[in-house]
Every structure is written in structure tokens, then in C-alpha cells.
Chain A
Amino acid sequence: MEIAPPPFDLGAIAPFLIVAVGAMIALLADLFIPPARRPALGYFALGTTLVAIGACVWLWGGAVPRLAFANMIAVDRFGLFVTIVTLIGAALSILLSVDFLQEQRLGYGEYFPLMLFTVSGMILLAFANDLITFFIALEILSLGLYILAGSARGRAVSQESAIKYFLLGSFSFGFLVYGTSLIYGATGTTNFTALRVALEGSGLTDNPLLLAGLALVLVGFAFKLALAPFHMWTPDVYSGAPTAVTAFMSVGTKVATFAALLRLVTGALPALYADWSNALFALAIVTMILGNLAAITQRNIKRMLAYSSIGQAGYVLVAVVASDTTQPGVNDAAQSSVLFYLLAYTFMNLGAFAVVVALARPDDERLDLDRDYAGLARRQPLLAAAMAVFMLSLGGIPLTAGFMGKLLVFRAAIEAGYWPLAVVGVLTSAVALAFYLRVVVRMYAGESRHAEERPARVPVPLAVVLAVCLVATIQFGILPAIPLDAARGALTITAP
């Protein structure tokens, strides 16, 4: 008997391959490069991500959508859009890290290879069309992040961040895997395409095994996306990890995992819309309220940004809930707003973290809102102005990317008939302004504690990150047409 091997469509996973191979080369090169030249590895990693973005653009124009590797990978514009956003986030995080690592004496070592491996996991996650591919990708990205979170080995907070992230991350992985096994038990498949076909018009939609599996998988997602009430680990992990790593994981992980969630629920389980939309509806409301309320009391900027990222995830979730595939118009608006919001979030959140990185000193990370941010505008007017823009954008003030994102999300929610979500969203955004604006007020009105010391020098790579994030945040707020058209063009989740 002859068994035909499935065709090897390596071109379909070119971005993943480029990043994975780049990571291995960087890992090997690390052995031969003298310590003083290690920053070169950062630029190599940056080049790798840029080449991968090029590969995505090439695929975007090529023969997409297509399924590859026995339907386990779906290469479509949706995945490519998310991959490009992830890669942009990764490229900016790498630039952010080059000088930060040196200044904080963190040592380069495995840092950039690990970052690239993590990015390869995120890319695979964006293309995963099977629960198996999905959880392998999720694990590739998580394992890298556990180590990166603990990469400041001597520091107690970094170790604590790593162990908490690791235990909670693997715990949620257990839920995902067991949930997957129940879905497999109920339907006999783990493939997204096959699941959709199996569930359409079958009597399976009331199957308790299937619903329990869905519930467990959603719990796993909620942990990974830091949705309340599964968010307890986030503030500790975000504030303990080195700031550059926090910046990276707060954007990349969220973007890729949201893409996987959207692909799973709309691509594989549209038949269960009533079930998952109700569950996510409740999660979205709790997440928006808890994330934004808890952020108000924070005095540490990294903890505040951690809670803020929980709140932001709540807004994205609103649009996921509205993705009802039976109403194509509503679904398109909802999914394109998810993509747009993720893109806008990447720039504004990375920008805010870039300012935190710029202020850090070797002996003191300068994280206290009252002590270190007061009077910043007088000492470092440019950094303060940049931070103000990012805070206003995260808060959703008009003429910023954050405002456009919120507008699209809430409009999609109302079109889909979920006006309670939109109401809660608008109210919590108003609450959120309290802590975003507080940072701005501190910077412009407070008295500086560090008035006598020389202002921090902003290295060139960091300045580039700040400039890119600033331009994107304002540009997407005033003229959102380009990214929005791209997002609308990216809506074909492969469904052959």
C-alpha cells in the first residue's frame, strides 16, 4: 500500500519559515559574536521581521486564500493582516529592546532568538485552521514569553513574573487541551473547516459534550487574553517583566490570540453563535468594567498600563461578540473593526511603553506616576507630548487612532443589536479617561522630583519607535481610510 504524503506548500507559510529560520540563525550566531557586538543581533532580528513583512505583502497579492498542510493551515488575507500587525509590533519591540537591554544590563544572549521564536508562534496562530495547530502555536509563543518575562534573572520581580505567567499560562493551556478533547469527542474532528461542516444543520449543536468543550476552550482563551475574571495574573506579570518584554507581550500576544479566537468562533463554530456570543458578551462587560475601574487606583505606570490593556481587550471583545456570520453586513463591520482596533492598539500601546522605556534609568525603572511623571513636560517636553498623545488615544479622544477604533467597535455592536455593550463601552471609556488624563495632568502640572538631573538621552532606535507610533496614532485618527480599507479587504476567512 502506498500512502501519498500531503503536498508541501512551503510558500504558504513563508512568513513563519522566515522568522523561525531567522531565530535559529540568531541563536547560532550568538555563540560566535563577541559580547560588545551583540546589538547587531537585534538588527538582524529586525531585518528578519521586515523580510517576513515583505513575504506577507507578496502573499497578499498572490493566490490567497488557500489551505495548506492537510487543511491545518489557512493562508488568507485575514491571517496575513494579523501577521503584518504582529510583525510590526515585533519590529518596534526589537528596536525598543536594543538600547534598553544594554542600559539595564540584561544581557543579550537568547533574548532576540526567543523573541523571534515567539513571533513565529504568533504567525502560526494567525494561520491556524485546526485546534492542534492552534494549541501548538500558542505553546510556541507562550514558552518563549515565559522565559522572556524572567530574562532579568537576578531580579526578584522578574522571576516572580515568570513563575506566575508560567503557572497561569500552563493552567489555561490545560483547559484549552481538555476542551479540545471534548470537542473532538463530540464531533470526531479538530479541524476548523471540518467542524463547520459537521455542525451545519446537524443535531450536534445541543450536544452537552460539545458545549462543555466550547466552554473550556473559551476559559483558556480568556486566560490568555487576560479577560476578567481570568485576568488576575496580568498586572503582576506585566509589571514584573522587563519593560521591553511587557511592551512586546501586551501587543503581540493579544493581536494573535484575538485573531485565533475570531477564526475559531466565526470560521469553525458559526452554528454555535448563540452560545459563544452570550459567553463572550458577559466576559466583555465584566472585562470593560473591572479593567478600567482597577486602573484608576494604580500608581505604578506599568500596572496601570496592564489594567488598561485589560480594558482595551474588553473593547475588542465587543466587536468579536458582534461577529454574527448570518448577517454579512454586520459581520463585516464587526470583523473589520476588530482588525482596525488591534492595529491601532499596537501602535498606541507600544508608544506608551516606549516612553516608559525611555525614562528608565539603570538603577531605577522610574515607574511611579506621582514621583517620576510629575513635571515631566518641563524636563522632557517631547517625551511628555508623545506620552500625552498615546494616553489620549488609549482614552479615545477624537483625532486619534483609539477614537476611531472605539467608534467602529461601538457602531458594529449597535448594528448587531448589542446596544448594552456599546453603552457599557462608552461609560467605561469615560471612566478610563480619569486615569489616562491623570498621567497627562501630572506631566504638565506637577512639580518634578528629578529637576536637578540631566534629562534622559533618547537613543536613535527608541526615537524611531516613538516617531512611528506617533505618526500612526495620529494618522489613523485623522485619515483611517488606508488601514480600514486594508482591514475590510482582509475579511475573507478561508471557507472553501
Chain B
Amino acid sequence: MAPLAYYFILSAILFTTGVIGVLIRKNPLIMFMSIELMLNSANLSFASFARYRNGLDGQVIAFFIMTVAAAEVVVGLAIIVSIFRTRASVDVDDVNTLKG
């Protein structure tokens, strides 16, 4: 079996990829996919730590995170679809009525 560090480094790379994706991409769908990547990197990290520590709770937590991620997909896609219906575009640069 590969040592824990491999899994941990992979999860860190996935997490960083997700963070960078959210920060540099402008399409909400891609940003959203990047967020999912962040959550899944946490799943990998939980599962591998649980295996390393011979505990079960980390693996159970991964299921909780999947459930939460699924609920987020429902809400997120609904919001994106409702925006697309009124504007026929979902680029975040076009969604700029409010000035931060």
C-alpha cells in the first residue's frame, strides 16, 4: 500500500487546484466544479487519515460531506439556471449590476 503521505499530497494538490480554479475562472459552473474538487479533496484526506488511524469516523464523515455537496449542487444549479433564464449568459463578469 502506498504510504499516507502520497494520499495526503494528492489531496493537497486537489484542494489547491480547486482554490485556484475558483479564483481564476469566470464561469460559475466551472467555479462550482472547482468547489466540488475542494470538497472531494477533503473526502480523500478524511478517508486516508481514517485508514491510517484505523478509525471509521473519517470514512463516515466523507459520506456526510458527499451528502452536503449533493444538496449544494441542487441549490447552486437552480440559482445558475434562474440567472441563465433571465440573461442568457452566466459569465460572472456579466453579473455585475452590484459594484463591490
- Listed in ascending order, the chain A residues whose CB lies under 8 Å from chain B are 132, 135-136, 139, 143, 146-147, 150, 153-154, 156-157, 159-164, 166-167, 170-171, 173-175, 177-178, 180-182, 184-185, 188-190, 232-233, 235-236, 239-240
Residues of chain A within 8 A (CB-CB) of B11 are 178, 181
Residues of chain B within 8 A (CB-CB) of A160 are 83, 95-98
Bound Cα distance from A162 to B45, whole angstroms: 30
Chain A residue with the shortest CB-CB distance to B98: A236
Chain A residue with the shortest CB-CB distance to B4: A185
- Listed in ascending order, the chain B residues whose CB lies under 8 Å from chain A are 8, 11, 15, 18-19, 22, 28, 31-32, 35, 38-39, 41-42, 45-46, 49-50, 52-53, 55, 57-58, 61, 64-65, 68, 71-72, 75-76, 78-80, 82-83, 86-87, 92, 95-100
Residues of chain B within 8 A (CB-CB) of A180 are 42, 61
Bound Cα distance from A159 to B81, whole angstroms: 10
Interface of A is mostly: helix
- Choose from A132, A150, A174 the contact partner of B82 (Cβ within 8 Å): A150
Residues of chain B within 8 A (CB-CB) of A171 are 22, 35, 38
Residues of chain B within 8 A (CB-CB) of A188 are 49, 53, 55
Bound Cα distance from A231 to B96, whole angstroms: 17
Cross-chain contact B22 with A166 (CB below 8 angstroms) = no
- A-B Cβ contacts below 8 A, count: 121
Cross-chain contact A143 with B45 (CB below 8 angstroms) = no
Chain B residue with the shortest CB-CB distance to A239: B98
Cross-chain contact B38 with A178 (CB below 8 angstroms) = yes
Cross-chain contact A154 with B86 (CB below 8 angstroms) = yes
Cross-chain contact A170 with B76 (CB below 8 angstroms) = yes
Cross-chain contact A181 with B100 (CB below 8 angstroms) = no
Residues of chain B within 8 A (CB-CB) of A232 are 100
Cross-chain contact B61 with A184 (CB below 8 angstroms) = yes
Apart from the given pairs A157-B97, A163-B79, 12 other A-B contacts in the complex at a CB distance below 8 Å: A139-B71, A150-B79, A156-B97, A157-B98, A167-B92, A170-B72, A174-B15, A177-B39, A181-B49, A181-B61, A184-B46, A184-B57
